[in-house]
Copies of this chain bind each other. A is one copy, B any other.
Amino acid sequence: MRSGDKRTTLADVAAEAGVSVALVSIVMRGAPGAGAATRERVQEVAHRLGYQPDSRARLLRSGRSRLLGVVFDVRHPFHHDLLTGLYDAAERAGYQLTLSAVTARRGERTAVGDLLQDRCEAIVLFGGELRSSELASIAARLPVVAMMRGVRRKDVDVVHNDDALGSHQAVDHLVSLGHRRITHIDGDSVHGSVERRTGYQEAMRRHGLDQHIRVIPGGAGEDDGARAAEKLLADPPTAVTVFNDLGATGLLDVLHRNGLRVPGDVSVVGYDDTSLSRLAHIDLTTIAQDVDAMATRAVQRAVERIEGTPTGLRSVIIAPRLVVRGTTGPPAG
């Protein structure tokens, strides 16, 4: 017996309950226009027959899908947190999510293509490498909301973290502990890197620490942080702000191997509040992006575009917050 041979349809329920399909449809959707008695009976029959509405047929007929497409990367831990928030936000807005993953062997273009076929009404992109012009060509077909990346186009909505502010928070925290010689490890060409670096520089100036500004080239990986740490060893500062948690982890490791104590000799602040930073033996002070706020705004943006209530502002920037853990403390001496 092949499965799927006999799915229960509206017609089946209607026949069994002795009413018309239209009426069953009304009951199933909870729409007004059916008697209480009928309602109950139909519901009972539907349940008994194990009826499951066919979303495809439903959406085909009603013209809308109420579907939000999401492109995320399975390799990026932060994307998973964001998915959690997005599911909630979508549900609150009365939309469903349809996921399309980017993997090591499945590109962003493929992921977007699938979503387009699924007839979702808007697409939410997490980071990614698509060029602004490509995003624009997608945006010509349906609303696009890009999260955690910049887009030089005004036909694409953008929701992201206030990276500069995050760096300010990190520097402020360190300065309040008494640090003055604070170095920043850069994120190279990764999205947000420029903002985090600039934020660091601004904050340092604001505290009158211009002469202590020092930026070491780095990157998005653990090894980038480790390499940056090597360069620091000759003349270590009392504190370091690192582009992201992964880099901070690499840096911490090199520091430890070289006998430097954290936070005794050097304080370290990461960025992103990934699960890594929460591990007991890392216990990293870091900057947390406000996942729920970002997700909520992204969905709100998408829905506004879908329903034609544009707000004019295409860019939403969410404030992050400092999470103090064990890698920061007052400087020695």
What is the CA–CA distance of A121 and B280 in the complex, to the nearest angstrom? 43
What is the CA–CA distance of A300 and B24 in the complex, to the nearest angstrom? 38
Residues of B contacting A80 in the complex (Cβ-Cβ under 8 angstroms): 74-75, 80
Category for how many chain A residues contact B:
35 or more
Interface residues of A in 242-256 (CB under 8 A from B): 249-250, 252-253, 256
A36 contacts B by Cβ under 8 Å: no
What is the CA–CA distance of A121 and B56 in the complex, to the nearest angstrom? 14
What is the CA–CA distance of A222 and B6 in the complex, to the nearest angstrom? 48
Q: How far is the CB of A296 from chain B (nearest CB, A)?
A: 14
Q: How far is the CB of A53 from chain B (nearest CB, A)?
A: 6
Residues of B contacting A116 in the complex (Cβ-Cβ under 8 angstroms): 52
Q: How far is the CB of A256 from chain B (nearest CB, A)?
A: 8
**With A54-B60, A57-B60, A83-B74: A98-B98 Cβ-Cβ less than 8 Å:** yes
**With A3-B306, A4-B306, A52-B117: A280-B101 Cβ-Cβ less than 8 Å:** no
Task: Please state the number of chain copies in the assembly.
Answer: 2
Residues of B contacting A7 in the complex (Cβ-Cβ under 8 angstroms): 119
Q: How far is the CB of A146 from chain B (nearest CB, A)?
A: 16
Interface residues of A in 213-265 (CB under 8 A from B): 222-223, 226, 249-250, 252-253, 256
Residues of B contacting A142 in the complex (Cβ-Cβ under 8 angstroms): 3-4
Q: How far is the CB of A214 from chain B (nearest CB, A)?
A: 24
Contact across chains for B77 and A106 when beta carbons are under 8 A apart: no
Q: How far is the CB of A192 from chain B (nearest CB, A)?
A: 21
Contact across chains for A249 and B56 when beta carbons are under 8 A apart: no
What is the CA–CA distance of A249 and B283 in the complex, to the nearest angstrom? 13
What is the CA–CA distance of A114 and B108 in the complex, to the nearest angstrom? 24
Residues of B contacting A143 in the complex (Cβ-Cβ under 8 angstroms): 3
With both beta carbons as reference points, the residue of chain B lying nearest to A308 in the complex is identified as B2
A88 contacts B by Cβ under 8 Å: yes
Contact across chains for B280 and A226 when beta carbons are under 8 A apart: yes
Residues of B contacting A307 in the complex (Cβ-Cβ under 8 angstroms): 2
Contact across chains for B226 and A253 when beta carbons are under 8 A apart: no
**With A50-B141, A249-B279: A103-B84 Cβ-Cβ less than 8 Å:** yes
Contact across chains for B64 and A4 when beta carbons are under 8 A apart: yes
A131 contacts B by Cβ under 8 Å: no
Interface residues of A in 1-56 (CB under 8 A from B): 1-4, 7, 50, 52-56
A332 contacts B by Cβ under 8 Å: no
A149 contacts B by Cβ under 8 Å: no
Contact across chains for A55 and B117 when beta carbons are under 8 A apart: yes
A313 contacts B by Cβ under 8 Å: no
Given contacts A1-B308, A253-B281, could you give 8 more A-B pairs where the C-beta distance is less than 8 Å?
A3-B305, A53-B117, A54-B117, A57-B60, A87-B105, A98-B98, A250-B279, A276-B276
- Chain A to chain B contacts (Cβ below 8 Å), 25 pairs: A2-B307, A3-B305, A4-B121, A4-B142, A50-B141, A52-B116, A52-B117, A55-B119, A56-B60, A57-B60, A74-B83, A75-B80, A80-B80, A84-B106, A87-B101, A88-B105, A88-B106, A96-B114, A98-B98, A99-B99, A222-B281, A226-B280, A249-B279, A250-B280, A253-B281
